[in-house]
Structure 1
Amino acid sequence: MKEVISAVGVASKVVESAVSSVFSIVDGIFKSNMELTEIANIYSKRLDELILSEEKKELKYVGGTFNIIYLNDVAFETNFELYFQDKAKSWVKKEAKSKPQKMSFLKDTAKIELQKLKKVSFEIDHPKEEKEDANEQL
């Protein structure tokens, strides 16, 4: 993943409606006393759907991150960065961020962790890899 992020000439595409819809669909479904991992899990399915949708456009998913970012004592935001390669091996970056969310949605331990770290990141694996791993465990 470090190679992808540090690659020279990463093309950043304009945020498309499908990309920004990840946040518009799930915004507003937060509940009180959430852990940071719970927030990441809320977005997981939509991000998987987005990755698979982009792959149908002949882009190969390489990796990405979902981030929860401390803004101030009352708000945080979430964002994601997904990295793909097209047939010509050019880098394509899909990204979007949420509107600010209330810190009151977080458990006290999650608030403290986010205030201390300022940013908590989760790797986004390819959706098929997770399903294959589950099948291997059966």
Structure 2
Amino acid sequence: MSTLNNEKQKDPVEDAINALKNILNTIADILSKMNLDELVQLYSKKIDAEILKTVKETGWVYRGGQFTVTYVTKETFSLEIALYYQNKEGEWIQVKSVTPREMKCLKEAAVQELFEKKKIAYDIDAPKEEKPKVQGTIQ
């Protein structure tokens, strides 16, 4: 494999990873106490938008992914987004980002559930591309 191909492939992967980190970091600023389902809903639309953007910019096919919430310590949990694509050559590409969060962002019931289960994974299905709304005037 030539170096040029590796560099071309590295940039979209790096860009996608950075975008996932941005999703995790931006939403962290607006977190309030929530349960795990609310947490997943908060990230869902941004992850879908990122998948659609990556597919459009790279030509890769989205194959699946997981959003995982993991108990780390009594003060900390981690959020992980792992997305899987295939390029035109059929090679698999993983785009992944992990970030720590403070337990104080979660409701007590969510902290307890996470403590008991240690790790909770949610599948990330392929997003439905929103059809642009047609706007026009009637004359």
Q: Shorter-normalised TM-score: what interval?
A: 0.7 to 0.9
What's the TM-score, normalizing by structure 1? 0.78
1:124 matches 2:135: no
- 1:17 to partner: Cα distance: 2.3
SS of aligned partner of 1:110:
helix
1:37 matches 2:37: yes
Percent identity of the aligned residues? 32
Alignment-derived partner of residue 98 in structure 2? 97
Which stretch shifts more, 22-31 or 58-67? Answer: 22-31
Which stretch shifts more, 108-117 or 59-68? Answer: 108-117
Looking at structure 1, the residues matched to 17 and 74 of structure 2 have their Cα atoms a distance apart, in angstroms, of: 31
Q: Unaligned 5+ residue runs, structure 2?
A: 1-9, 131-139
Q: CA RMSD in A?
A: 2.0
Rg larger in structure: 2
Looking at structure 2, the residues matched to 85 and 105 of structure 1 have their Cα atoms a distance apart, in angstroms, of: 35
2:20–2:81 Cα contact (<8 Å) kept: no
Alignment-derived partner of residue 68 in structure 1? 69
Moved over 3 A (4+): 12-16
Which amino acid letter does the alignment assign opposite residue 128 of structure 2?
K
SS of aligned partner of 1:128:
coil
Q: Between Structure 1 and Structure 2, how many residues are aligned?
A: 118
- 1:87 to partner: Cα distance: 0.6
Q: Unaligned 5+ residue runs, structure 1?
A: 1-11, 132-138
Q: Deviations over 1:92-119 (max 9, x none)?
A: 0011112x22212222221111001111
Which amino acid letter does the alignment assign opposite residue 55 of structure 1?
V
Alignment-derived partner of residue 9 in structure 1? none
Alignment-derived partner of residue 79 in structure 1? 80
Alignment-derived partner of residue 28 in structure 1? 29
Alignment of 1:48-67 (within 5 A): 48-56=48-56, 57-67=58-68
Alignment-derived partner of residue 108 in structure 1? 108
Looking at structure 1, the residues matched to 80 and 64 of structure 2 have their Cα atoms a distance apart, in angstroms, of: 14
- 1:125 to partner: Cα distance: 0.9
Looking at structure 1, the residues matched to 72 and 103 of structure 2 have their Cα atoms a distance apart, in angstroms, of: 9
